[in-house]
A and B are shown apart, each in its own frame.
Chain A
């Protein structure tokens, strides 16, 4: 079991460029989440999904889009990157089994110049 994996681990973008972050989980979890973490702060929820083909906005969704075409994958897209989106991005997943236990990936460190 690899758990939750994220691709890429690091990325540097120029302002205005686009990119997609990939999250994959092999635990057959229904729920998946994207968070961002800025220096010295806690995690903030960007978008989440409660099942294949569904997505919903979290606390800080502006500037991001997501897709969940397959149950095991959750993609986070930045259409036009801005310096304010420089952050560490974490993906997580959890099951439907009445528990809120989330399993996190190792993170993607994104810098927008």
Chain B
């Protein structure tokens, strides 16, 4: 599975959009991009995933570049409860036993 690169930390003002980048330059054509987050010491929570097209759900939007070498997770109106570690993962989507959770990006949402 391809590796991902994320900034170690980011800040965002409450109410503003949080844009979290992820590089996955070695991604293969059949690998998905997944995003999870982990709030404090809780279990990771699935946010969104995509293959080629941009995706949106009630939590966030996922923008994948045309060459698929990078993506951005967008939280449109960040709240203090969005403060968490965000993990970008590349996976074939055939079972999580090859899923690699790196260090992620620690997002601080400030009032």
Using CB atoms and an 8 Å cutoff, list the residues of chain A in contact with chain B: 4, 31, 33, 35, 40-45, 48, 50, 56, 58, 88, 90, 92, 94, 98-107, 109
Contact = CB atoms under 8 A, between A and B. Distances in A.
B29 interface: no
Majority secondary structure, A binding face = strand
Chain B interface size range: 20 to 34
A33 B43 CA distance: 13
B93 A100 contact: yes
A45 B42 contact: no
Interface in B44-74: 44-46, 49
Contacts, number: 68
B108 interface: no
Contacts of A35: 101
Given A41-B103, A42-B101, A48-B97, A99 B43 contact: no
Nearest to A43: B101
A40 B106 CA distance: 10
Given A43-B101, A92-B43, A50 B95 contact: yes
Given A40-B103, A42-B87, 11 more contacts: A4-B43, A42-B101, A42-B103, A42-B104, A50-B95, A56-B97, A90-B44, A92-B43, A92-B44, A100-B92, A109-B41
B45 A99 contact: no
A104 B96 contact: no
Contact of B45 (A31, A33, A58, A104): A104
Contacts of B91: 100
Nearest to A90: B43
A58 B99 CA distance: 10
19 contacts: A31-B97, A33-B96, A42-B103, A42-B104, A48-B95, A48-B97, A56-B97, A92-B44, A92-B96, A98-B93, A99-B93, A100-B34, A100-B91, A100-B96, A100-B99, A102-B36, A102-B96, A106-B42, A107-B42
A5 B38 CA distance: 17
